[in-house]
């Protein structure tokens, strides 16, 4: 924020997002928070940022992403979003999920605006510190810049077989063809199926997020004033105490899974089961993925790690 102001930007507002970046429970939608209500369902947790740019409320916006929450809402709102290399933009001030994946990034209406924003936002840390970085990202926006560029393409995501919609697949493949015609070299980057082998890849990543979240959120909360909430357990207790407002549509199963981890980044252990009880009328939205319910008057939801269908991405 400080770097944007120093560059002359006028900060208009903070936009609504999916509560806790949809990392609280198995949400059936994106773009809802107890404080800001709905920003329709634009995909991903940086929902307000995407909608604000698409609706021309502002020249540019900033979103945050752990896993899809910049690029997914950007795609659904027909704007340009960039998740930078981890370490290019400071994580300071970002409410964390996992320090190994969290980053801010520009969300704008044009590629040029994204390049301008990236020039301002970059504040290298970690492994990026000391690396040779471009003096000006807009310098790459020139005719002929695609000639000889090597671009990795995971072909699975450009097919209907992997859940892509026919009209969108056609548009995406046309874009790849245009890149080739401009001299780009498309390199296959397909790796293992993230939802294959009994979801091993997906579960491994999800476990990392759970373990890091318990530690990272406590560090973040320790910096705050005007609150006595300091740990993930405190957040869980707050949600239980304010259940009708906070959990009117879905629960906090992911919070509980994270709380069940060791809290030691060197010894990642987790319970694969979580539960919650909230005295609200039962609805279809109370059951997510592998969940089971008890009675309408006192719902107890038991859930294993989420198992999304192949065609669905759960952004954070």
Q: Are residues 123 and 22 in the same domain?
A: yes
Kindly report whether the global pTM for this prediction surpasses the value 0.85. Answer: no
Residue 16 has φ and ψ, to the nearest 5°, of -70, 155
Between vectors from CA 60 to CA 55 and to CA 62, what angle results, nearest 5°?
A: 110
Q: Are residues 136 and 243 in the same domain?
A: no
pLDDT of the residue at 156 = 81
C-alpha to C-alpha distances, 100 to 22, 82, 205, 256, 265, nearest whole angstrom: 18, 17, 11, 21, 12
- 224 in a domain, yes or no? yes
> Do 105 and 68 form a contact (C-beta atoms < 8 A)?
no
CA quadruple 295, 240, 19, 57: dihedral sign: positive
Q: Please list, in sequence order, all residues whose beta carbon lies within 8 angstroms of the beta carbon of residue 280, skipping any fewer than 6 positions away.
A: 243, 244, 247, 248, 299
- 171 in a domain, yes or no? no
The CA dihedral of 290, 294, 300, 302, to the nearest 10 degrees, is -20
Q: Are residues 115 and 241 in the same domain?
A: no
d(C-alpha 296, C-alpha 280), whole Å: 7
Q: Please list, in sequence order, all residues whose beta carbon lies within 8 angstroms of the beta carbon of residue 239, skipping any fewer than 6 positions away.
A: 24, 246, 247, 252, 255
- 189 in a domain, yes or no? no
Q: Are residues 133 and 253 in the same domain?
A: no
pLDDT of the residue at 89 = 96
Q: Are residues 104 and 12 in the same domain?
A: yes
pLDDT of the residue at 263 = 85
- 305 in a domain, yes or no? no
pLDDT of the residue at 303 = 31
pLDDT of the residue at 70 = 96
d(C-alpha 82, C-alpha 106), whole Å: 6
Phi-psi region of 151 (alpha: psi -120 to 50; beta: other; left: phi over 0): beta
Q: Are residues 29 and 127 in the same domain?
A: yes
d(C-alpha 212, C-alpha 266), whole Å: 10
- 272 in a domain, yes or no? yes
3-class state of residue 101 by DSSP: coil
C-alpha to C-alpha distances, 124 to 4, 43, 82, 205, nearest whole angstrom: 15, 28, 16, 24
Q: Which of 91, 107, 140 is the last residue of a domain?
A: 140
Q: Which of 86, 105, 140 is the last residue of a domain?
A: 140
CATH number at residue 119: 3.90.1300.10
CB atoms within 10 A of CB 188: 8
Q: Are residues 21 and 131 in the same domain?
A: yes
Q: Are residues 12 and 130 in the same domain?
A: yes
Q: Are residues 132 and 218 in the same domain?
A: no
d(C-alpha 103, C-alpha 244), whole Å: 32
Q: Which domain holds residue 265?
A: 214-300
- 264 in a domain, yes or no? yes
- 8 in a domain, yes or no? yes
- 119 in a domain, yes or no? yes
Number of domain units in the chain = 2
pLDDT of the residue at 198 = 52
| Tens place of pLDDT per residue across the chain (316 aa) | 889 999 999 999 888 889 999 999 999 999 999 999 998 788 888 999 999 999 999 999 999 999 999 999 998 899 999 999 999 999 998 999 999 999 999 999 999 999 999 999 999 999 899 899 999 999 989 999 899 999 999 888 788 877 778 888 898 899 999 999 999 999 998 776 656 665 567 778 888 999 999 999 999 999 999 999 999 999 999 999 999 999 999 999 999 999 999 888 886 554 444 333 343 333 333 323 333 222 222 222 223 333 333 333 344 5
């Amino acid at each position: 924020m400080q770097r944007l102001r120093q560059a002359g930007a006028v900060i208009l507002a903070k936009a609504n997002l999916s509560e806790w970046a949809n990392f609280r429970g198995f949400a059936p939608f994106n773009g809802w928070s107890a404080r800001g209500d709905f920003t329709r369902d634009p995909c991903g947790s940086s929902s307000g940022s995407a909608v604000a740019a698409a609706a021309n409320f502002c020249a540019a916006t900033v979103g945050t992403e752990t896993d899809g929450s910049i690029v997914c809402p950007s795609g659904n709102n027909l704007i340009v979003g960039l998740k930078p290399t981890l370490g290019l933009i400071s994580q300071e001030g970002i409410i964390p999920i996992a320090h190994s994946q969290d980053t801010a990034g520009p969300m704008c209406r044009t590629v040029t605006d994204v390049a301008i924003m990236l020039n301002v936002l970059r504040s290298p840390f970690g492994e990026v510190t000391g690396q040779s970085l471009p003096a000006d990202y807009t310098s790459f926006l020139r005719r002929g810049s695609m000639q000889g560029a090597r671009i990795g393409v995971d072909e699975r995501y450009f097919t209907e077989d992997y859940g892509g919609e026919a009209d969108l697949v056609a548009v995406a493949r046309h874009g790849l063809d245009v890149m080739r015609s401009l001299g780009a070299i498309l390199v296959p980057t397909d790796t293992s199926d993230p939802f294959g082998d009994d979801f091993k890849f997906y579960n491994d990543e999800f476990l990392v997020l759970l373990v890091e979240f318990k530690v990272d959120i406590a560090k973040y909360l320790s910096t705050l004033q005007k609150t006595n909430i300091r740990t993930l357990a405190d957040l869980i207790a707050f949600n239980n105490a304010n259940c009708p407002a906070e959990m009117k549509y879905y629960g906090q199963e992911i919070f509980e899974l994270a709380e069940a981890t060791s809290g030691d980044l060197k010894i990642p252990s987790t319970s694969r089961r979580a539960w919650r009880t909230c005295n609200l009328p039962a609805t279809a939205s109370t059951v997510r993925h592998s969940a089971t319910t008890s009675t309408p008057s006192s719902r107890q939801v038991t859930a294993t790690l989420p198992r999304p269908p192949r065609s669905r991405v759960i952004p954070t």
